[in-house]
């Protein structure tokens, strides 16, 4: 199956759930209504969400201990959106089963369906890393930078932090992490360096908390196998002679 399609149907992190919300919401409304059964509407929602919830549950149950907190948050987010879709599916099936004699009940259920469905979609688009949220955050960032007369140096969606100037003031060393989802940044942190104007960003090594001393870069490194083991390493400013 196409990887882009799988990304929409089985989001691997909670920030991708906005895609599945947009896909599943019209499906549960349409199929739930056609089924004319609120129970079937719930089942349809569960079928659409079961794979992504199962993927996160397995990561939580059998993954490394240091990522368990983030996995539990992700699992909670996915279950919450699945529950929202299940409620919409149940309402759709209930509406489909009503007769023309139940106009008042049907109208009330339709209004409730619209409120819940639009609410779930809005929450997904505004709180997760959807184009809507990114546009809002970019607008806020632009306003902040304009107000403070600041210049943005990095464009990584994940966190870039702990900047350290080189002795001659031409380079900035910092810690960077790729963004794989809200509160789920890649466990692989990198020590990177760039020019003072933000150009020529180069990753030097896996690690955190860079400190410059006597022309060398000291940093913390977490062993990928023994995840509780953190050691201090040192390297040249170009990333060579790592010890």
Instruction: Tell me how many helices (H) and strands (E) the chain has.
Output: 6, 7
Read off the pTM: 0.65
The pLDDT of residue 62 is above 70? yes
User: Do residues 234 and 209 touch, judged by C-beta distance below 8 A?
Assistant: no
Reported as a single tens digit per residue, the pLDDT across 128-143 is 877 776 677 667 777 7
Domain ranges for the chain? 3-133, 153-236
The answer to whether the Cα torsion of 99, 103, 108, 110 is positive or negative is: positive
Reported as a single tens digit per residue, the pLDDT across 75-129 is 899 999 999 999 999 999 999 999 888 889 999 999 999 999 999 999 998 888 7
Quick one: which of 227, 230, 186 has its CA closest to 64? Answer: 227
Work out the burial of residue 91: count CB atoms within 10 Å of its CB; fewer than 13 is exposed, 13-18 middle, 19 or more buried: buried
Q: Residue 169: beta bridge partners?
A: none
User: Do residues 79 and 64 touch, judged by C-beta distance below 8 A?
Assistant: no
SS3 185: strand
């Amino acid at each position: 199956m196409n990887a882009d399609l799988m990304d929409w149907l089985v989001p691997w992190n909670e920030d991708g759930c906005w895609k599945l919300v947009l896909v599943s919401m019209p499906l549960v409304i349409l199929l739930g209504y056609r089924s004319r059964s609120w129970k079937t509407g719930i089942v349809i929602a569960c079928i659409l969400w079961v794979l992504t919830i199962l993927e996160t549950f397995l990561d939580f149950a059998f993954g490394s201990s240091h990522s368990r907190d983030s996995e539990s948050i992700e699992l909670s987010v996915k279950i919450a959106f699945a529950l929202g879709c299940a409620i919409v599916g149940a309402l759709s099936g209930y509406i489909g089963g009503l007769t023309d004699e139940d106009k008042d009940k049907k109208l009330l259920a339709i209004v409730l369906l619209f409120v819940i469905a639009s609410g779930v979609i809005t929450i997904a688009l505004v709180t997760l890393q959807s184009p809507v949220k990114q546009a809002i955050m970019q607008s806020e960032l632009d306003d902040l930078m304009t107000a403070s007369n600041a210049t943005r140096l990095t464009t990584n969606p994940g966190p870039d932090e702990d900047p350290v100037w080189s002795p001659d003031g031409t380079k900035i060393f910092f810690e960077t992490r790729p963004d794989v989802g809200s509160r789920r940044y890649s466990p692989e942190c990198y020590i990177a360096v760039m020019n003072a104007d933000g150009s020529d960003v180069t990753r030097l090594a896996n690690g955190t908390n860079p400190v410059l001393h006597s022309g060398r870069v000291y940093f913390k490194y977490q062993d990928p196998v023994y995840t509780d083991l953190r050691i201090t390493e040192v390297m040249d400013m170009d990333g060579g002679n790592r010890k």
